[in-house]
A and B are shown apart, each in its own frame.
Chain A
Amino acid sequence: MSNGASGAEAHSRTTAVALSDVNITFRLADSGSYTAVEGASLEVADGEFVAIVGPTGCGKSTLLNVTAGLFPPSQGRVDIFGANLAGLNRQSGYLFQSEALFPWKTALENVAIGLETAGTPQSEARARAQDWLTRVGLGHFGPRYPHMLSGGQRKRVGLAQVLIRDPKILLMDEPFGPLDAQTRQIMGNLLLDLWSADRKAVMFVTHDLEEAIALSDRVVIMSAGPAARIIGDWRVPLTRPRDTAEVKLDPEFHRLHRDIWQTLKAEVMKGYEQTGGG
């Protein structure tokens, strides 16, 4: 595992997210329990883009939800910028996998709401929301309701909705999962573009290894569930700025992909056997 330029830079910074020995266990309806994640430890430096990859149902999203403070870990600690996390993680923004926009609000209102809840006057919040819509390429779509937008446009609104609050940590749960291949690529580039402006710490969950390498500074691999663990951690030495399509032609990209896939493949097969898929 070689250190790329961005990786070395990230090392010198403060730690944004620190998960230490996190266990997450759910109580099931039939009085049993299900351990989703076991003994997960992970550090994300400020300004570092970390992709978390694992087979379907391995507890990647669960780990993200715990980092967001949506529920506490059953065991272990979560520290955000050195402080133990209790309750909601106020320093993070969360881009969800499924539809999370407020269907009864227009695109503009959806983006502005995160400022309005924080007490920003409505006119100012709306003006800044309009700015953000323009930045994600939807300047003329402010008055549209979510159902009038395409899947990709809704994701752009979602991205603006999260980023307008300027969170220090960005949590993303397969945000581009439901989109078609071309739109994913465009969204990936848009994300890198916005991210490079002020380099937030990012935890990006995906099951797509190519997407993970193309976007991130580090790729973390989780084993198949139940009791998923973190089983691999690779630095991505590819230079920035990157184009998510062009970077896939880089020989270094191929070497890394082959390397990581050897580890991931076994887990994916295990995952299929357990879920009966495949």
Chain B
Amino acid sequence: MTRGRLLSLQFLIAVITLLAWHLATTVPIGGVTLLPPFFFSNPVDVAARIFKWFAEGTIWKHLWVTLIEAMLAFVIGSVAGVLIGFWFAQQPRVAAVFDPYVKAINALPRVVLAPIFTLWFGLGIWSKVALGVTLVFFIVFFNVYQGVKEVSPTVLANARMLGMNDRQLMRHVYWPSALSWMFSSLHTSVGFAVVGAVVGEYLGSAAGLGYIIQQAEGVFDVAGVFAGMFVLAAFVIAIDWLVTLTENRLLVWRPVAAETRTQA
């Protein structure tokens, strides 16, 4: 499929969905509106709301807050995940001792932590950052741990035969291997950083995309809820696109990344 054809088909899906939504919410069939506008709003109202937010400029503040929270959660979660992942992989005994606790904490739905974080860190950005960190940390941690563990024994033996000491092994073998695993999960971890921020805002805050959606819901402003969701979706897609760009730069040595690069 050519790029133009693909794009037009993707566009077609959006048009059909919006059209169906619009007809179902505004044109009565046999005296009954299929989707009551009170519960489903309609595309025109939602578009008008999004336009109003950007025209008045009120949305920027919320986007900025969510972005900052997500970025802080990503950076703190990643750094902690890399450090502890490396430590555990190098110290199998430590890993074995902590194993059940790591699994237990990871199995916990993070939403239940949100109220505690709000108590500890207040209603500002830090309670949201904390929530995001608990999500990002485990993804990065598991990937780095795996990356260090799964270094090919032959590559490792080769590195030793080429005269590498422990420090050089770390720098030339373990570190690149762990990073490649971490970067391969970059989409997931960045996505979870945003989820942590938005869910945190939704459960109690004074700004951010989650806050807008929650406020609109509180007054049955369905157009506001949908508008918030669309802005959030666009926001996540934009971030995901940035991640793809970064990834293609950092993982040139990988077969898949290289193919994507030559296509671009």
A binding-site residues for B, Cβ under 8 Å: 68, 70, 88, 90, 92-94, 96-106, 113-114, 117-118, 145-148, 161-162, 165
Residues in B neighbouring A93, C-beta threshold 8 A: 161
How many chain B residues touch A (CB < 8 A): the figure is 23
**Is B161 a contact of A117 with CB atoms below 8 Å?**
no
- Cα A239 to Cα B156 in complex, Å, equals 38
Q: Which of B161, B163, B173, B177 has the most CB of A within 10 A?
A: B161
* A114-B157 contact, Cβ under 8 Å, with A104-B253, A145-B252: no
- Cα A257 to Cα B92 in complex, Å, equals 50
**Is B158 a contact of A100 with CB atoms below 8 Å?**
yes
**Is A165 a contact of B154 with CB atoms below 8 Å?**
no
* A103-B253 contact, Cβ under 8 Å, with A90-B163, A145-B258: yes
Chain A proximity of B194: nearest CB distance (Å):
29
Give the 4 A-B residue pairs with the shortest CB-CB distance, closest first: A100-B158, A104-B176, A114-B162, A145-B253
* A147-B254 contact, Cβ under 8 Å, with A96-B154, A102-B173, A104-B180: yes
Residues in A neighbouring B159, C-beta threshold 8 A: 102
Closest B residue to A104 by beta carbon equals: B176
| 19 other A-B residue contacts (CB within 8 Å) besides A118-B163, A162-B162 | A68-B161, A70-B157, A70-B160, A88-B160, A92-B161, A96-B157, A99-B152, A100-B158, A101-B155, A101-B158, A102-B159, A102-B176, A103-B254, A117-B163, A117-B165, A147-B254, A147-B258, A148-B258, A161-B162
Residues in A neighbouring B158, C-beta threshold 8 A: 94, 96, 100-101, 161
Chain B proximity of A128: nearest CB distance (Å):
14
- Classify the interface of chain B: helix, strand, loop or mixed: helix
B binding-site residues for A, Cβ under 8 Å: 152, 154-155, 157-165, 168, 172-173, 176-177, 180, 252-255, 258
Residues in B neighbouring A165, C-beta threshold 8 A: 162-163
Residues in B neighbouring A118, C-beta threshold 8 A: 163
Closest A residue to B158 by beta carbon equals: A100
Residues in B neighbouring A147, C-beta threshold 8 A: 253-255, 258
Q: Which of A70, A88, A102, A113 has the most CB of B within 10 A?
A: A102
**Is B161 a contact of A94 with CB atoms below 8 Å?**
yes
Chain A proximity of B63: nearest CB distance (Å):
36
